[in-house]
Structure 1
């Protein structure tokens, strides 16, 4: 395994234009919960190519995996600014907003509809789903046949936003 890592590191240095080495090294570190090491390599690659969408995406994905959602959002947005056709970045950005909605909902202080905080908390949750919606819709537009990027997300969003017609359309696709 150590030889594999060294081979990947050598490959990155010798052939930085080939994502195979970088991608496999990041996968190795991620699969072994070595996110700090993965982050170091992502940073090193971004120093040389700050607008490389793959490296930006990996950085976002690493933040996503360590649950630093605000940083992940920042980097997924950088990917999209650099390449507006990067469907996976839209999908994962939508996913993070849905995760934030769920986490906020889990921590919400009240379920009593008569409590004044209830309305405020529900508005915050709704805002997260509203932020997620265009992300998943764009992923769908870019890759309509790759339903794993958008189907479950849109189902959840349309349900939580009470969008009946849109929800029914997505529900039919799930069946």
Structure 2
């Protein structure tokens, strides 16, 4: 009885094996007769059956089915007929994985240890011919606002030249032109757009954008008209910030600041992060380095540095630092305002001391010193006012400026100018 059962089992295995090999043959026949949907269905079982799934021919035929479907629709386009674009680009995208699998299996040595990959030459030719069409596929889905699919196509365009099938230097796809660089960037932008426009894809696409940006930065930059090298670092920092990865955010800011010392994004954000973390000494040290590396940013950097000293009530150092900023740029708004505010705060401190002093002489001396500081603040604030008005600053900036001017004029008894500042403030009450 056991022998009978065993024989029956063997017969079943042989039948199944024959069925899958026949499926491969039938799929090939359907492909040759241009019945692509039928061929696709016929090949499916063979892709997972143990008897056929490790045969490179099975995967090569699966790739050919998709490629012939793509070519058929693309030919309509070439003949100025209307193709089914969705079918065309779906088939194009589906060519890559089966061709890669066919090539991998074809590279396995035979029983004699020899590699006889009879499929690679054909696969190389097809992938090279199809490579530019992945740009069109990305554009197609981008126009439909299907940004995740657009990113798929642009990313695949980026990845294809690195496939093992192109290990022969003679067959390499050129990746040193500006077009290739541009499409790499498009894959990143579409992933970011997908994360921002579809809540269901937000996490997945943000992680993809981070992965692609790291890959972009790791590869040689080729100058192009689409983006500058520093923009990749800015985007990566922004994506890390969006997912709350402070460590990676700061690391990226540090890398960007070191590579692009004149950039206005990295250093200010980096210093802000140090300040948020309570690392003021580190922020001050970095500011000194930033000033040395990028003299053109002296206005902002000196002003931030001075503000840090002012927060520590080290007004002498703060004032000297603001003054240094103004020697570099006499119209530096942050320094004009910052130094004026420093004088005002010191004057207010002196007036408080005077109010608590019972000796008239001492009180008068404190009042005089306060008056000197208020007086020193006047030209700074008036210069700041001129700068704001010249660039048509927004209402909040103008209002804050007039409040400071009003304070100074009041404490100096400059009544006409106090009234003038008060009238200007009236404009912003409603």
Question: For 2:371, what is the secondary structure of its paired residue?
Answer: helix
Relative contact order higher in (CA < 8 Å, ≥ 6 apart): 1
1:80 is displaced (CA, Å) by 0.9
Q: 2:286 aligns with which of 32, 41, 49?
A: 41
Question: For 1:85, what is the secondary structure of its paired residue?
Answer: coil
Instruction: Decide which moves more: 47-56 or 5-14.
Output: 47-56
Gaps of 5+ in 2: 1-245
CA RMSD of aligned residues (A): 1.9
Q: Please say if residues 261 and 293 of structure 2, whose CA atoms lie closer than 8 Å, have aligned partners that are also in contact.
A: no
1:82 is matched with 328
CA distance in 2, matches of 1:19, 1:104: 38
Q: Output one character per residue of 1:108-149: Cα deviation in whole Å (capped at 9) or x when no partner.
A: 36465x822222221111111001111101101111244156
CA distance in 2, matches of 1:108, 1:51: 42
Equivalence map 1:100-119=2 (5 Å):
100-108=346-354, 110=356, 115-119=360-364
CA distance in 2, matches of 1:137, 1:57: 18
1:170 is displaced (CA, Å) by 0.6
Q: Please say if residues 110 and 117 of structure 1, whose CA atoms lie closer than 8 Å, have aligned partners that are also in contact.
A: no
1:167 is displaced (CA, Å) by 0.4
Larger Rg: 2
2:373 is matched with 128
Q: 2:269 aligns with which of 19, 24, 28?
A: 24
Gaps of 5+ in 1: none
Q: Please say if residues 111 and 118 of structure 1, whose CA atoms lie closer than 8 Å, have aligned partners that are also in contact.
A: yes
1:17 is displaced (CA, Å) by 1.4
Q: Please say if residues 262 and 297 of structure 2, whose CA atoms lie closer than 8 Å, have aligned partners that are also in contact.
A: no
* Shift >6 Å, 4+ stretches: none
CA distance in 2, matches of 1:26, 1:65: 15
Q: Please say if residues 129 and 161 of structure 1, whose CA atoms lie closer than 8 Å, have aligned partners that are also in contact.
A: yes
CA distance in 1, matches of 2:366, 2:305: 31
Q: Please say if residues 399 and 425 of structure 2, whose CA atoms lie closer than 8 Å, have aligned partners that are also in contact.
A: no
Compared with structure 1, are the counterparts of its residues 110 and 66 closer, same or farther at alpha carbon in structure 2 (3 Å cutoff)?
closer
Q: 1:69 aligns with which of 303, 309, 315?
A: 315
1:171 lines up with 2:419 in the alignment: no
TM-score, normalised with respect to structure 1: 0.90
Q: Please say if residues 354 and 364 of structure 2, whose CA atoms lie closer than 8 Å, have aligned partners that are also in contact.
A: no
1:11 lines up with 2:256 in the alignment: yes
Q: Please say if residues 140 and 149 of structure 1, whose CA atoms lie closer than 8 Å, have aligned partners that are also in contact.
A: no
1:60 is displaced (CA, Å) by 1.7
CA distance in 2, matches of 1:133, 1:94: 7
TM-score, normalised with respect to structure 2: 0.38
Q: Please say if residues 151 and 170 of structure 1, whose CA atoms lie closer than 8 Å, have aligned partners that are also in contact.
A: yes
1:137 is matched with 382
